[in-house]
Amino acid sequence: MIRKSTNLSRKNHVIAANLDRAVIAVSLLFPEIKLPFLDRILVTCEVYGIRPVIVLNKIDLYGKLYADDVENFLRIYEGAGYTVIRTSCKTGEGIDELRKLCSEGVSLFSGESGVGKSSLIKALDPGLDPKIGKISAAHMQGKHTTSLYEMYPLAGGGFVVDSPGLRGFGLVDLEKEEISKYFPEMLRVGQDCRFTPCTHTHEPGCAVKEAVDAGIISPERYNSYLGMLEEDTKFR
């Protein structure tokens, strides 16, 4: 799994190797999720053939007020074909399911600072002691508590890699025509576009745009795709 540094060096940064899956932890609150950021991680997983599992953590915080946001999130990502597990390190919801999933092979825990990567690892195996931070009261964000990559064996089987919170996630170099292949829902319908290659932006007879209009592909995912296409090449 590789990301491009978002600073001027634009260096490739190898995050981890020989992974069986990437557990991408997100939260609707503290810190608030940014969908294009999640989509960049998902594209990178597709590029390297790593199976992503999305963990919507801190489910105990959302209540009725955010019920629609939770539904919307599931609609977007389950609709795109991803596995989404709802978890809480406070109530234990979803932890058994996540433990079962992680009981074989090596799982990288990735995501923004403060989403609860280290807390999830501790919940999977209370015998472990990864450092857990606090949410900064001033910014309602994580404080970059985990500073090193560390692999732990789980008592119930499998290995997990705790990692420092990601600040930015630069995509590795991809040709513009290539990007949509890494959106599984676009790959599925893209064969039916009238033109090949099709950028799925302005071409007539574009099956991807039709699927967006028909509500089969979510506008949020499509917008992330457009954002990746439009990015100045220095950010890709």
| Site of interaction with ligand GTP (CB under 6 A) | 57-58, 60-61, 88-90, 113-119, 132-135, 142-146, 164-165
Task: State which residue, 109 or 222, has the beta carbon closest to Zn ion.
Answer: 222
CA distance 82 to 13: 25
Residue 79 contact partner, candidates Zn ion, Mg ion, ligand GTP, none, CB within 5 to 8 A by sort of partner: none
C-alpha to C-alpha distance for 215 and 197, rounded to whole angstroms:
23
Helical spans, DSSP H, in the chain: 35-48, 67-79, 95-102, 117-124, 184-190, 207-213, 219-230
Q: Which residues bind Zn ion (CB under 5 A)?
A: 193, 198, 200, 206, 208
* Residue 116 contact among Mg ion, ligand GTP, Zn ion, none, beta carbon within 5 to 8 Å by kind: ligand GTP
Which is closer to Zn ion, CB of 135 or CB of 198? Answer: 198
What is the sign of the dihedral through the CA atoms of 59, 186, 37 and 10? positive
Nearer to ligand GTP, 88 or 180 (CB): 88
At closest approach, how far in Å is the CB of 136 from Mg ion?
14
Q: Which does 136 bind (CB under 5 to 8 A by kind): Mg ion, Zn ion, ligand GTP, none?
A: none
Q: Tell the residue number behind the tokens 């991803």, with chain if given.
A: 82
* CB closer to ligand GTP out of 10 and 143: 143
How many Cβ atoms are within 10 Å of 127's Cβ, its own excluded?
9
Residue whose C-alpha is closest to residue 110's, from 50, 171, 59, 165: 165
Least distance in angstroms from the C-beta of 165 to Zn ion: 35
| Cβ at position 230, least distance to Zn ion in Å | 16
Shortest-Cβ-distance residue relative to ligand GTP: 165
Picking from 87, 29, 75, 85, the residue whose alpha carbon sits closest to that of residue 52 is 85
Q: How many CB atoms lie within 10 A of CB 214?
A: 9
| 135 interface partner picked from ligand GTP, Mg ion, Zn ion, none, CB below 5 to 8 A per type | ligand GTP
Minimum Å distance from CB 222 to Zn ion?
A: 11
Contact at 8 Å (CB) between 194 and 209?
A: no
How near is the Cβ of 86 to ligand GTP at its closest, in Å? Answer: 10
